A and B are shown apart, each in its own frame.
Chain A
Amino acid sequence: MLHSKRRQKMKNIKKIYSTTLVFLILGFAGCMDLSETIYSELSKDNFYNNKLEVMQGVLRPFTHMQAWLAPTGQNGYYYHGEMAADQVAWPQKGRHGYDGGDHIRLHNHEWTIDENRMRGAWSLMWEGLGYVNAILEDVEGLDIEKAGMTEEERQQIIAEIKVMRAYHYLRIMDMWGNVPIITTVGKPLNPPTAPRSEVFEFVRAELEENVSMLEPLSQELVGRVSKASGYAMLSELYLNAEVWTGTPMWDKSIEYADKVINGEGGSLTGAMALDQDILGPFKNNNENSPENIFQFAFSRKGGFSFGWGGFYVGYGNTSKIWDVTYSGNNAFVVIPSAFDAYKENDLRKKEWFLFGPQFEYQTDKPIIATEEYVGQPLVYVNSIRRNSEGATGEGSMVEGEENSGARFNKYRSGTKEDPNYQENDYIIYRLTELYFNKAEALMRKNGGQATAEVVSLINQSKKRAFSEADWADEAYTPGTLTLDELLAERGREFVFEGKRRTDLIRFGEFTTGTWWDHEPDGDPNKTLFPIPSIQINSNPNLVQNPGY
């Protein structure tokens, strides 16, 4: 009797326990789900439903590219190319602009493997390449039926993406030379370094295979890669082939320059031609300039305007010079020797630079300085030295003042009342460059001697910068157009266009030339930047460039 009682009691307790257990398990089972809900981002599974959406992915690399390619204030390709070259500098101006010595080291070619800004450039440019690879993967795996597209459309888009990838590699190769060749996202880990010649070959093959599939340039293609821009890339690639691979390929450079010049790649205006207005390619309606080939399509109305203020505009007091609403950091100035490279009668000197006393837009009311010359009129001078302290001589990178150096005025936004205010596109290639490419290639084939054809090509460009009266004295002849002169003229024509370092390297001047405060160290390894140490640390298969 007692026995069974106990048993029953045990049973009862068990019942209670098991009820509790069931109760708890119920609780657990319902709520062990740890999946995340995405609200403010997109899942690939429910995107790419039509061509518009696919193109929204295809164009992502462009919105990123402007950050490192255009002078928009970031530490990318543009910053490093120009700061290491002989036309523009960011000197210390009193208490401003020391910035840890970053710009000084670039100017002196004393950069280290730990440069923060170079780390930024590496990161920005490879991020761009990553966007290209990401969308390429997505388009290659695209359900075209779901997206309502044809296979032909897909193949054309793939060509467009591959040309973009080649362009990224062109610029990466220009900076660092020997880098991994990566065509997928996130894999392989620890990709190995490929020598520059292999990178070159990869770029060459990708361009040659895909450019022909691109559409010709037209107004519909503003801001995108077209046949014309692909040809321009090829012309640039072959022009630099001797530097990048050791083998000159002048004929190929000429071949592709000709394709552009002849309009085989299309045109924005129906016929490819030099813009006779020297400000034309840079105006706030420059998508209508007949010579523009490849541009980053900025638009204030569209929601994203080209902001060169960070690098090229003074503090708030200078906005009134153009009657605009933006201002900048008073950062980049023109190196005195670069400004002196223009003759006084060169219209480009007058139109593309700010110099001398500054006034409020279309008035004679002076702009007032705020730093060394606080309270006094602002006058930009062609020297970088402590004039306020009575300094004389050449000055230096640490001796700038608020008014040191001539300033950038090549792109102009229009006044804030202008209907096209800040609609300027950033120009990556324009026809004039192909003229120069072809001229240079012809000259080099000809033992460095100019021919009539060469002179004609360069004079067509140069003529725009002089009055009819002056032209007779300024026109080149086969005798006056030497290779040195070609480099100088190329500098004058493409000042501020982010190409100077590449040109100096090709002409052998980058590590041997002297300009203003810069003394050459003759180290040929300086033609490549070092791979940032943080990347070397994280990828054991990366090989540092020689000399670092």
Chain B
Amino acid sequence: MKKVILLHVLAMSKRILYIFLIQCLSMSLLFASNGSAQIKPIDKVQIDLKLSNSFVEDAFSKIETQTGYSFVYTNKELKNLPMVNINSNSSLYDILVDFSKQTGLQFKQINKNIHVRKVDDLRPQTPVSIVENPQETVSGVVVDQTNLPLPGVSVLEKGTTNGTITDLDGKFTLNVESEESVLILSFIGMETQELTVGVRRMLEITLKDDTKSLDEVVVIGYGTQKRREITSSVSKVDEKSFNQGGVRSPIDLIQGKVAGLSITRPNGNNPNSGTAIQMRGVTPLTGNLSPLIVIDGIPGGSLDLLQQNDIASFEVLKDGSAAAIYGTRGNNGVILITTKKGTAGEARFDYSNYFSTDVVAMRPNNLSATQFRGLIDQGLISSNNDLGADTDLYEELLNKENLSQYHTLAASGGTINSNYRASFYLNDAEGIAKENSRRQYGARINFNQKGINGRLQMSSNLAVNLNKANLLGGGGGDFEQAVQRNPTAPIRNPDGTFVETEAFNNYNPLSRLQNRINERNQQTISGDIRLTFEILEGLNIGAFGARQQNGFNDRQYRSLKDFEQRPNSSYQGTGYARKYNELSWTDILESTVNFKRIVGDHSFDVLGGYSYQYSTFENFAVDNSGFTTDSFLDWNLGSGSAINNTQLPRPGMSSFKEDNTLIALFGRVSYTYKEKIFAQAIFRREGSSKFGDNNKWGNFPAASVGWDLSKEGFLNNTKVDNLKVRLGFGVTGNQGIPNYQSLVTLSTGGVYPQNKVFYQTYGPSRNPNPDLKWEKKQEWNLGFDFSFYKSRLSGSLDIYNRETVDLLNGYTAQQPPFVRSSIYTNVGGIRNRGVELMLSGIAVQRDDFNYSITFTGNVQNNTISDLSNDFYATDFLEYGFLPSPGNLGAAIRVTEGGKVGNFYGKEFSRFDESGKWLFKKADGTEGYAGDMKPEDLKILGNGVPKYMASLSNSIQYKNWDLTVFFRGKFGFKILNTQDLYFGNQAWLPNNLLESAITKNADLKDNPQYSDYYLENGSFLKLDNVTVGYSFNFMGKTIKNLRLYATGRNLLTMTGYSGLDPELQDTGFTTGIDDRGFYPRTNTYTVGLNVTF
């Protein structure tokens, strides 16, 4: 109870705090607003003003509030001014004259604005002047490098708030003060340009693309930096470089685009399968292997809330010196995702769509009915296995007419001070398998506004995703049946019922698809608001609040006709229904102070902040059986008779809730000297509720330096445009363990009778470890950024060495004295080393023809440096346990000093005359499986790709564009378990892969795990080919129209004999091609993007 009250107080105090902040800010807003006062010359305005010994700024602000005029000045003008005394009830003109006398300031009224200048003599000749019509009118047209007009460009008279925005044709007209006035033209993604008006009255201005420039703004977490200032390993991928075509997950947009970032889809293009993401090799033994995803500042943002057309850029913080600002969760790297914002200018609509279809690229090569009968003729199996039909079950499971479609409409626009973007989408994704689909729709709304002379900024997002997934089909099990089910078995009996074959682990997947429901309805929402207030020039305070919430309802039903429910089963011919609900949410509150100052050649950017994150998870499940009718499905759970009929499996119910808190204080100092030497230091102190009382808090420091050598004289007159060397070191952490591991609690232990009544029993839930502490990673990164030949060739090279220590894991506990068999503790270390290279070249650069090539590649090496601590040691950890039948043990073993991903087991020698396995023993002799002793086992190969590379070719010819993208992984072995189980005649009378009677024909023995089944996994994929055409519409309605066609996963070049050499290569279970036979597909997409 005490805790609950405390929580309330805590929540209240936060609320009060933020209300207070909002109050302060909105008050200021009120003061600043000028209503809609008529513009009068200042000599016609009477005011009453009494000031003694007041700052000039205070006086101005008092006048502004009373009159609605705005004073326009730069801070420099008001430096070192004396205090002023005013006691007057007269016209504003007279007051300003009085002001001028005291301060030497000169005032000029232009419409609503009163421009303030300082003149050298104390008594200016015309202290106050009124200009009813500004002196100079300037107009112009702004175009981009391809000479297309740019609407929405902000045009601002420097030092004032006087400004406008270009219209649809890129044109603008602005009244400026004088010919000396300077215009600032800015547009997102373009280099900002300044120019003096001069005598010209019609300007033609070309804005240049900013993407590759050193002034490109890069998001680094709690702030931004210019590309030139970056001192750590940060990769940015913006929209122009995204993978094209429809993607299943937004992270697929950058697959192969960032050296060292591994993104794989282990289950093909299944719309309901996830993506495995890993940066620079595996770090933690436990918890989440994926980098921290931060969406517009929300750490742990849900990828479900992102749509490909809403994303402006990905920034990937690869090394510790960058990721340390996200301390605790930075061990696996950080991916910062920035969504698109509205831009000032005329309102615009963007509509995009695509239609795509999957076509089977590769299916398993199982025996046809004819081939199967051949085995019967050979006497390998008895003739009663010929069930008379000719079935290709694999084909029956395919949804060949699959069509996925996607539509999104975004509306955006704004003024100089506010902008918005709202996008809405509908996505209907169908997999290649039957009953395997996902339909989702949702929206993302972004609104930003500036006020109080640009000093207060608010930005906010609201995103929602509603999706409905059909999880019934597409499972690996169904396709496994398609491989192993007797191909002579018909699917249905003449009476329409399904044929169930009786062999090992058999079921009829079509019966399952027909008689079951397995659906998920998911709702994910997030909302955030960020307020930034400029207290003084260069000093900003910010507050950020966000909530992300994810919930889903699962429904499952198995009909009375389902095989599992058959009369002879425990369900005795009745139906089964289950409901499962899950809800999780995270609240985030952060406040920051940011101070920027330039002193001579030195520039500082200092950030300090506080972060609070509270997450909770809850679920409940109910199931029941005994439904005598299919009429209700899962919509009347209480009607199932298992509640009172104890002959049926007991109905189940469960619920669960947990929470955790993360609190951090953090700071960052960035320093620049003459834009030549750069340095950054980060410190984050973070506490997690998950750790023991003694070790809740951890410190995560980082530092990095950069030196731009091209600024030094010795590189003048060379082909080097830019050459920067960077060196960074950073510490990050991991807290990816279950909650409560440091606490002593009791949990349920099953029922036991007290005097014949069965009550629940309770015992210790775990071995608590009050000394549990952060896992920490220390990482060095040496990097080079370079560009040569007028930026025709550019790139970056990074070399890293990182050591993760105090690895968190559930280790085998010392028993006795501990109760439970495992204990979460910190043991051992992992070392990852690697080199990453990104090279970008412009091969051809002409007016109507451009050809650029980008290469990314990396080499990695992951070893276990240590598996022991003071009171705990182990020789090895095992992964990749091979399944039934046979339960052949673990395929992968990591040992101290060994590489991650080593296959460990028997070395194949040959088959003996009768087809039995013979393996090599340590003493050089041969032995059968039963003869193999532990000392005969050895390392057989490694399942983690040593090299990964991608090559992107991008060609533009007039209005055509073409992208050809290759991606590959090299230097690893695959354990082909499909061949191991199904390419073996011992699998009969189940159906076999063809290899059983070809490649493995000599084998007449039961499956054994050995290097016989290890194959070279290296592959190169032609991953994406896109052709697009952009129309030259200069009409009023359609501004831009592009049509494109994409083919994905078009070609795989590999020596691997299985379905797809691209497997899960993240974590510790790597390189095992499991028995899921989900088809690999080519995906063809056509789509259009139109702006109007």
Residues of A whose CB lies within 8 Å of any CB of B are 1-2, 5, 8-9, 12-13, 16, 20, 23-24, 26-28, 30-44, 47, 52, 55-57, 59-64, 92, 94-101, 104, 112, 114, 116, 119, 122-124, 126-127, 129-131, 133-135, 180, 182, 184-191, 219-220, 222-223, 297, 299-304, 315, 317, 319-320, 325-326, 368, 370-371, 374-375, 397-398, 416-417, 421, 533-535, 537-539
B502 within 8 A of A: yes
How distant is the Cα of A180 from the Cα of B819 in the complex, in angstroms? 14
Query: Does the CB pair B659–A37 fall under 8 Å?
Result: yes
Q: A27-B17, A41-B740 are in contact. Are A134 and B659 (CB under 8 A)?
A: no
How distant is the Cα of A37 from the Cα of B618 in the complex, in angstroms? 13
Pick the contact of A44 from B6, B80, B744, B875 — CB < 8 Å?
A: B744
Q: A301-B646, A317-B502 are in contact. Are A96 and B760 (CB under 8 A)?
A: no
Residues from chain B with a CB closer than 8 A to the CB of A535 are 812, 814-815
Pick the contact of A537 from B659, B873, B986 — CB < 8 Å?
A: B873
Pick the contact of B663 from A34, A60, A116 — CB < 8 Å?
A: A34
Query: Does the CB pair B814–A34 fall under 8 Å?
Result: no
Beta-carbon contacts of B720-747 to A below 8 Å, as 1s and 0s? 0000000000000000000110011111
Pick the contact of A302 from B20, B744, B758, B813 — CB < 8 Å?
A: B758
Q: Which A-chain residue is minimally distant from B1006 (CB atoms)?
A: A95
Pick the contact of B568 from A39, A320, A375, A534 — CB < 8 Å?
A: A320
Q: A41-B745, A98-B888, A538-B874 are in contact. Are A60 and B763 (CB under 8 A)?
A: yes
**Cβ of B737 to closest chain A Cβ, rounded Å:** 13
B449 within 8 A of A: no
Query: Does the CB pair A191–B817 fall under 8 Å?
Result: yes
Q: A16-B535, A20-B541 are in contact. Are A375 and B871 (CB under 8 A)?
A: no
Residues from chain B with a CB closer than 8 A to the CB of A187 are 817
How distant is the Cα of A99 from the Cα of B306 in the complex, in angstroms? 46
Query: Does the CB pair A100–B689 fall under 8 Å?
Result: no
How distant is the Cα of A126 from the Cα of B821 in the complex, in angstroms? 8
How distant is the Cα of A486 from the Cα of B13 in the complex, in angstroms? 79
**Cβ of A373 to closest chain B Cβ, rounded Å:** 9
Query: Does the CB pair A57–B746 fall under 8 Å?
Result: yes
Query: Does the CB pair A131–B819 fall under 8 Å?
Result: yes
Q: Which B-chain residue is minimally distant from A172 (CB atoms)?
A: B816
How distant is the Cα of A187 from the Cα of B547 in the complex, in angstroms? 43
Beta-carbon contacts of B750-773 to A below 8 Å, as 1s and 0s? 111111101111111101100000
Query: Does the CB pair A34–B751 fall under 8 Å?
Result: no
How distant is the Cα of A254 from the Cα of B763 in the complex, in angstroms? 37
B261 within 8 A of A: no
B1034 within 8 A of A: no
Query: Does the CB pair B569–A34 fall under 8 Å?
Result: no
Query: Does the CB pair A42–B503 fall under 8 Å?
Result: no
Query: Does the CB pair B986–A94 fall under 8 Å?
Result: yes
**Cβ of B820 to closest chain A Cβ, rounded Å:** 6
How distant is the Cα of A315 from the Cα of B504 in the complex, in angstroms? 9
Q: A127-B819, A538-B873 are in contact. Are A2 and B82 (CB under 8 A)?
A: yes
Q: Which B-chain residue is minimally distant from A110 (CB atoms)?
A: B933
Residues from chain B with a CB closer than 8 A to the CB of A57 are 746, 761-763
**Cβ of A310 to closest chain B Cβ, rounded Å:** 12
Query: Does the CB pair A416–B502 fall under 8 Å?
Result: no
Query: Does the CB pair B934–A63 fall under 8 Å?
Result: no
B522 within 8 A of A: no
Query: Does the CB pair B689–A38 fall under 8 Å?
Result: no
Q: A41-B745, A98-B888, A325-B570 are in contact. Are A47 and B762 (CB under 8 A)?
A: yes
B688 within 8 A of A: yes
B589 within 8 A of A: yes
Query: Does the CB pair A33–B10 fall under 8 Å?
Result: yes
How distant is the Cα of A41 from the Cα of B690 in the complex, in angstroms? 15
Query: Does the CB pair A94–B1006 fall under 8 Å?
Result: yes
Query: Does the CB pair B763–A135 fall under 8 Å?
Result: yes
How distant is the Cα of A181 from the Cα of B622 in the complex, in angstroms? 44
Residues of B whose CB lies within 8 Å of any CB of A are 3, 6-7, 9-10, 13-14, 17, 20-21, 53, 55, 80, 82-83, 382, 384-385, 502-504, 535-536, 541, 568-572, 589, 591, 593, 608, 610, 612, 618, 646-647, 649-650, 655-661, 663, 665, 687-690, 696, 739-740, 743-747, 749-756, 758-765, 767-768, 812-821, 871-875, 884-889, 929-930, 932-934, 986-987, 989, 1006-1008
Query: Does the CB pair A101–B536 fall under 8 Å?
Result: no
Pick the contact of B819 from A37, A134, A189 — CB < 8 Å?
A: A134
Query: Does the CB pair A33–B749 fall under 8 Å?
Result: no
Pick the contact of B765 from A9, A20, A41, A62 — CB < 8 Å?
A: A41
Residues from chain A with a CB closer than 8 A to the CB of B608 are 24
Query: Does the CB pair A222–B753 fall under 8 Å?
Result: yes
**Cβ of A485 to closest chain B Cβ, rounded Å:** 34
Residues from chain B with a CB closer than 8 A to the CB of A37 are 3, 7, 659
Query: Does the CB pair B763–A27 fall under 8 Å?
Result: no
- Select the residue from B10, B503, B647 with max chain A CB neighbours within 10 A: B647
Q: Which B-chain residue is minimally distant from A59 (CB atoms)?
A: B752
Apart from A47-B762, A130-B819, A326-B570: 20 A-B pairs, beta carbons within 8 A: A16-B535, A24-B591, A24-B610, A27-B591, A52-B754, A52-B759, A55-B759, A60-B762, A95-B885, A95-B986, A96-B504, A100-B887, A122-B815, A123-B815, A127-B815, A319-B568, A416-B647, A537-B873, A538-B812, A538-B874
Q: A56-B760, A57-B762 are in contact. Are A36 and B743 (CB under 8 A)?
A: yes
Q: Which B-chain residue is minimally distant from A179 (CB atoms)?
A: B816
- Select the residue from A5, A24, A47, A96 with max chain B CB neighbours within 10 A: A24
Q: Which B-chain residue is minimally distant from A315 (CB atoms)?
A: B504
Residues from chain B with a CB closer than 8 A to the CB of A28 are 610, 665
Query: Does the CB pair B656–A40 fall under 8 Å?
Result: yes
Query: Does the CB pair B753–A129 fall under 8 Å?
Result: no
Residues from chain A with a CB closer than 8 A to the CB of B593 are 20, 24
Query: Does the CB pair A62–B761 fall under 8 Å?
Result: yes
Query: Does the CB pair B13–A30 fall under 8 Å?
Result: yes
How distant is the Cα of A96 from the Cα of B987 in the complex, in angstroms? 10
Residues from chain A with a CB closer than 8 A to the CB of B55 are 8-9, 12
How distant is the Cα of A371 from the Cα of B990 in the complex, in angstroms? 10
Residues from chain B with a CB closer than 8 A to the CB of A302 are 751, 753, 758
Residues from chain B with a CB closer than 8 A to the CB of A94 are 986, 1006
- List, sorted by A's number, 20 A–B pairs whose CB atoms are closer than 8 Å: A20-B541, A36-B661, A37-B659, A40-B656, A41-B740, A42-B745, A42-B746, A59-B759, A62-B761, A96-B504, A130-B815, A130-B818, A131-B764, A134-B764, A189-B817, A325-B569, A416-B572, A421-B647, A534-B875, A538-B814
Query: Does the CB pair B541–A303 fall under 8 Å?
Result: no
Q: A42-B762, A114-B934 are in contact. Are A375 and B569 (CB under 8 A)?
A: no
Query: Does the CB pair A537–B761 fall under 8 Å?
Result: no
Residues from chain B with a CB closer than 8 A to the CB of A126 are 815-816
Q: Which B-chain residue is minimally distant from A302 (CB atoms)?
A: B758
Query: Does the CB pair B385–A374 fall under 8 Å?
Result: yes
**Cβ of A99 to closest chain B Cβ, rounded Å:** 4
**Cβ of A123 to closest chain B Cβ, rounded Å:** 4
Q: A26-B13, A34-B687 are in contact. Are A299 and B743 (CB under 8 A)?
A: no
How distant is the Cα of A222 from the Cα of B6 in the complex, in angstroms? 47
Query: Does the CB pair B929–A101 fall under 8 Å?
Result: yes
**Cβ of A532 to closest chain B Cβ, rounded Å:** 9
Residues from chain B with a CB closer than 8 A to the CB of A99 are 886-888
**Cβ of B44 to closest chain A Cβ, rounded Å:** 33
How distant is the Cα of A101 from the Cα of B1009 in the complex, in angstroms? 12
Residues from chain A with a CB closer than 8 A to the CB of B812 are 119, 123, 534-535, 538
How distant is the Cα of A124 from the Cα of B813 in the complex, in angstroms? 12
Q: Which B-chain residue is minimally distant from A180 (CB atoms)?
A: B816
Q: Which A-chain residue is minimally distant from B381 (CB atoms)?
A: A374
Residues from chain A with a CB closer than 8 A to the CB of B571 are 325
**Cβ of A421 to closest chain B Cβ, rounded Å:** 6
Residues from chain B with a CB closer than 8 A to the CB of A9 are 55
**Cβ of A107 to closest chain B Cβ, rounded Å:** 11
**Cβ of A34 to closest chain B Cβ, rounded Å:** 4
Query: Does the CB pair B814–A368 fall under 8 Å?
Result: no
Residues from chain B with a CB closer than 8 A to the CB of A398 are 929-930
- Select the residue from A59, A119, A320 with max chain B CB neighbours within 10 A: A59
